[in-house]
Amino acid sequence: MKNFVIEHSPLKKKLNAGELSIGSWLTIPSQSVVEILGSAGFEWLVIDLEHAPIGIESVVNLIGHIQGNGMQALVRVSQNEEVVIKRVLDAGADGIIVPMIKNKDEAQRAVNFVKYPPEGKRGVGLNRAQKYGTEFKKYKKWVDKEVVIVAQIEHIEAVDNLEEILAVNGIDGIIVGPYDLSASMGYPGEYDRIEVQKALNRVDTITKNLKKPLGFHVIESDHNKTLEKINKGYTFLAFSIDFFFLGDMARKEMENLKNKLQ
């Protein structure tokens, strides 16, 4: 279990310094999947509560497996809602990604749900994060300095309001969700379309001008796609998804085998 007195979040440090950090997305609630991804060298994993069939009961175990395999555990919560945010944090998550943030009020609401008074409005509960009631004061200090809060930018309204979102104290960075962003513009999944690319370029420009961490969820399991984002200055990158790493390799090698059998 984490010692909140001496531990400093490597991800928080990299976000503050504008350094590259690469993680991935966890949708299969399995210890084995966590261990396999850990062996690949990812720095963090995002447990997806928004779209994956993962219940809150599984979160504490997944967080423990992720941290036990040398990675940091982030949770994309199901929505910008008080109870789910404090439950995953009380379970020991290193930070959260909040979906569908569209404006500064929603960004501030997320921060309030993470931070204890007087900085925020989070209710006090005792669980794994607080070492089951033995180290609440130490955990509170850790939250003040080390917890990671990322706003997911996945709607055209968020692009229009990006400067004010990034100005909210407590937001450590953003991560672009290309599928929903394209959908909000009427082109679901067509994130290579010129209109969507223009919106993405606006995100790039605004974020870089404000010297804030720029994140993106690269859906494809092709490392070249992630390299493209690195070369464009993205520093907080989620590289693909567990089922794409599994499925893409299986489909590719089966196709190769079938071709050689013809």
Alpha-carbon distances, residue 172 vs 15, 48, 53, 88, 186 (angstroms)? 7, 19, 27, 18, 29
Unique residue bearing structure tokens 């893409």: 248
We find that the CATH architecture of domain 10-261 is Alpha-Beta Barrel (3.20)
Tell me the average pLDDT across 66-71: 96
Residue 5 has pLDDT above 50, yes or no: no
pLDDT band at 6 (very low <50, low <70, confident <90, very high): very low
**CA count, 13 A, side-chain hemisphere, 216:** 23
Buried b (16+ CB within 10 A) or exposed e, 153-190: bbbbebbebbeebbebebbbbbbbbbebbbbbbeeeee
Give the pLDDT of residue 110: 98
Q: Is 51 tagged catalytic?
A: yes
pLDDT in tens, 15-35: 999 999 999 999 999 999 999
pLDDT in tens, 176-229: 999 999 999 999 989 889 999 999 999 999 999 999 999 999 999 999 999 999
Q: What is the DSSP string of the chain?
A: ---TTT---HHHHHHHHT--EEEEEE-S--HHHHHHHHHHT-SEEEEE-SSSS--HHHHHHHHHHHHHTT-EEEEE-SSS-HHHHHHHHHTT-SEEEETT--SHHHHHHHHHHHSPTTT--PPP--SGGGTTTT-HHHHHHHHHHH-EEEEEE-SHHHHHTHHHHHTSTT--EEEE-HHHHHHHTT-TT-TTSHHHHHHHHHHHHHHHHTT--EEEEE-SS-HHHHHHHHHTT--EEEEEEHHHHHHHHHHHHHHHHHHHH-
Give the pLDDT of residue 188: 94
Give the pLDDT of residue 4: 42
Give phi and psi for 217, each to the nearest 5. Answer: -95, 105
Amino acid at 185: M
Residue 1 has pLDDT above 70, yes or no: no
Catalytic residue among 8, 51, 65, 155: 51
State in Å, rounded, how far the first CA of the chain is from the last one: 54
Give the pLDDT of residue 7: 74
pLDDT in tens, 95-154: 999 999 999 999 999 999 999 999 999 999 999 999 999 999 999 999 999 999 999 999
pLDDT in tens, 240-254: 999 999 999 999 999
Give the pLDDT of residue 129: 96
Give the pLDDT of residue 190: 92
Residue 260 has pLDDT above 70, yes or no: yes
Specify the length of the chain in residues.
262
